[in-house]
Amino acid sequence: MADIQSNVQDPILDDALVLSLVRRHVPEAQSVTGIDETGGEARTYAVDELIILKTQRPHKIRPSTSLEKEAFFLRELEKYPDISVPRVLGYGREGSIEYTCMSRIPGIAVKYASLAFEARNNMLIELGKRLRRIHGAVQQPFIESGLFPGDRTFEDTKTRLKSAFDKEIGKIVLRGNADEIELAQGIATKALAHLPDNDVLVAVHANPATTHTFVDPETGHYTGTIDFGDAYISHPVFDLRRWGLLDRGTLLAGYVSEKPVSEEFMRVWDVVQILDSFTVSSNKENMSADLAAILEKLS
């Protein structure tokens, strides 16, 4: 992503300032032990290996990203001790610096872990269970907070999905032939007609995939989920969508392992799988056969 405000300074905070902010909430903090900028719009400072001070990088701030929102989400999840997420130790501002002080989730991101097939499947099962519990949190506080953008009715979710299909059709209109355009329009029409009249909306993480899912580097066991700053309200399927098509079946198995989902949920799930298959096909040079196969499945 290009810098949003490329002329804004983005200095690394000196250790003394980092420690002064952390000590407001953890007086016994001793030293800065690392700096991580791999999160893109955020920079994190590790303190004593167990504490994270997270700040926004001014020139990379996106409208959808909010440390205040993340702190709110994490504090709500504190009510559910079986959900492994960072614990907020403090949130505040110092001049132009907005920060969150939180506990550090042990392990490393799945993106950087070498997981054998079985270990990866086990991780996906455990993540699916935790996502179900996150989505099961009482939702009224999220709605009333005013911090979470997104859908307020299921009609909004339908509009979100229609816009996604329209985007892919637009690509095909630009470079496809008349038959391919007709196939694409048929897929979108039939897929959207498969959606239920209504279903539950929740606060979703937005991207609980390989960069934000942590595992023990030795055992591969799931240790937690981080970075709730892009959260929004929509259908829970969108959190499962962030994993590749080959991983989603295992993730869904974990998601439903403690409690089945509704027929309405599965209809939304079906439409999202169609959308993503449609997206893959629309980017191919020769897409006709793929589009025809998708449409046949919908018939």
145-170 pLDDT, tens digit per residue, is: 999 999 999 999 999 999 999 999 99
Supply the mean pLDDT for the chain.
94
Confidence class for position 17, pLDDT limits 50, 70, 90: very high
Buried b vs exposed e over 30-57: b needs ≥16 C-beta within 10 Å?
Answer: eebeeeeeebebbbbbbbeeebbbbbbb
Can you tell me the mean pLDDT for 40-47? 89
Confidence class for position 37, pLDDT limits 50, 70, 90: confident
* 194's tokens: 């498969």
Which of 46-60, 187-201, 231-245, 263-277 has the lowest average pLDDT? Answer: 46-60
How far apart are alpha carbons 18 and 47 in whole angstroms?
9
| Predicted confidence (pLDDT) at residue 7 exceeds the cutoff of 60 | no
CA dihedral 166, 170, 172, 178 (to 10 degrees): 90
Find all residues with CB under 8 Å of 163, minimum gap 6, and list them.
none
How far apart are alpha carbons 177 and 174 in whole angstroms?
9
How far apart are alpha carbons 269 and 55 in whole angstroms?
35
Can you tell me the mean pLDDT for 42-48? 95
| Predicted confidence (pLDDT) at residue 3 exceeds the cutoff of 80 | no
* 54's tokens: 């997270």
For 108-298, which CATH class? Answer: alpha beta
| Predicted confidence (pLDDT) at residue 249 exceeds the cutoff of 50 | yes
Given phi > 0 = left and psi -120 to 50 = alpha, else beta, which region is 206?
left
> What's the first-to-final CA gap in the chain, in angstroms?
39
Domain ranges of the chain: 15-103, 108-298
Which of 49-53, 55-59, 146-150, 151-155 has the lowest average pLDDT? Answer: 55-59
| In CATH, 15-103 is 3.30.200.20 | yes
